[in-house]
Amino acid sequence: MVQPHPKNKKAILAQPTHVQLSRKALAHNLKCVRQNAPKANIVAMIKSNAYGHGMGMMAQELAALGVSSFGVATLAEGIHLRRQRPEEEIILFGGASWLGQAEALVRHRLTPVITHLSELEVLAPLVTTGTFGIHLGIDTGMSRLGIYWESQPEPVLMPFIEFFQNHPQITLEALATHFAKADEKSAQSLCEAQMAQYTQAVSVFNAHNLLPKRFSIANSSGVLRGYGKYAKGFAEHQFRVQLDVRPGLMLYGIESRDEVKSSPLMPLAHWRAPIVARKRVKQGRAVSYGGTHICQKDTEIAVIGAGYGDGVPRLLSDRGKVIINSKPAVILGRVCMDLFMVDVTDWVDAGEGAEVALGESVTLLGPGHADSMATEWARLAQTIPYEIMTGITTRVPRVWSDDHQPLAAADIPLPALE
């Protein structure tokens, strides 16, 4: 319902486009992680602005729910978060892009995932008091970051072992690896092969009395596959070594591409945008840039106040849908930078015009309807939900509330623009 203006009853009070984040959904999703990884330490992956949900507030809400480890990718993300969260552990997963600024990494007590000896050599002289913990990344199948060996782990790992023996100020907190295909149902054997290679590294470190304090393996789909528990091969260490899990997508309530499903997650984000104009156009009329949609009948059009400049993928042109009071309305023509058009003829013809009146909000992404899921957008836009969520731009304010009940327009903050 459009809200009445407090001072001018004839005026319409539209909500600007905004993403509303539900504490209830976050608590539910975190509970799902905990149920699947009962004894593990949760490293909440909040890189890339918490997958578009807003990093600072996400960390604050998670900290209130008992999470004390956070995963980011870049030094800048780490420093930004450290200023807001002086106490919690902040792990940098993005590789050695901090190498030129290693002094800042140490000063801000950020924990890097190390993948080259040269990174350790840069760090060692900077740690002049106390100890500095690092994670060591093992490449077991991604061919991305991490220490890699073809057949014999020992010769490859030995220089690292010698480094730790000679530099007691640098401590091995965790051995980390990352699944390449845990979200694909048929990839169990690859996951197992990755685990087997990982346990080789564990054995080598164990043999040299350098067992890390933690094993860090499972992303969301790894957790859903059962790797949030001590797996075969390293269960014997469970009383000495803490298991870390690193969920991202799961916390945001989104199922991945070929997901391994668990108890249903709740989408954290509800993205709404206002109807900023309405008009009835004649049959034969073209809609939006390039006139890719020609109206086959007289058509009632609602213009929505969001576009690809806000993160609505242009690939949703002529095919995506928005949700108006539980029913889908089809996008007509191309998505523009700040606006796009939808067909609301059915509402008007059914005498439900009030639902599509100027100033009303429609749902772009949110709970309760398959067409408004990030996975459905991703399918239509030939991408993955990660890219959909991280693509929501800074001009869309993110606002937290207990659930997804619509907010008063006055409660939607202006976004901080550069």
The residues carrying an active-site annotation are 47, 289
Q: Which is nearer to ligand PLP, 93 or 340 (CB)?
A: 93
Residues that bind ligand PLP in the complex, under the rule CB under 6 A: 45, 93, 178, 219-221, 246-250, 256
Which residues are bridge partners to 269 per DSSP?
A: 21
Report the DSSP pairing between strands 340-343 and 327-332: antiparallel
Compute the distance between CA of residue 218 and CA of residue 226 in angstroms, rounded to an integer: 9
Q: Which is nearer to ligand PLP, 324 or 389 (CB)?
A: 389
- Burial of residue 155, with CB atoms counted within 10 A of its CB: 0-12 exposed, 13-18 middle, 19 or more buried: exposed
Q: Which is nearer to ligand PLP, 93 or 198 (CB)?
A: 93
Q: Which is nearer to ligand PLP, 45 or 388 (CB)?
A: 45
Q: Which is nearer to ligand PLP, 246 or 334 (CB)?
A: 246
Q: How far apart are the first and last CA of the chain?
A: 32
* Nearest distance from C-beta of residue 99 to ligand PLP, angstroms: 18
- Cβ–Cβ under 8 Å, residues 341 and 288: yes
Residue 12 host element (H or E): strand 12-13
CB nearest ligand PLP: which residue?
Answer: 248
- Greatest Cα pair distance, the chain, in angstroms, is 79
* Nearest distance from C-beta of residue 249 to ligand PLP, angstroms: 4
Residue 123 host element (H or E): helix 117-123
* Nearest distance from C-beta of residue 364 to ligand PLP, angstroms: 21
Q: Which is nearer to ligand PLP, 108 or 181 (CB)?
A: 181
Distances (CA, A) of 353 to 277, 278, 319, 372: 13, 10, 23, 22
Classify residue 99 as left (phi > 0), alpha (psi -120 to 50) or beta.
Answer: alpha
- DSSP code per residue over 275-299: EEEEEEE-TT-EESGGG-EE-SS-E
Compute the distance between CA of residue 372 and CA of residue 113 in angstroms, rounded to an integer: 36
Could you tell me what percentage of the chain is helix, strand and coil, using 3-state DSSP and rounding each to the nearest 5? Answer: 35, 25, 45
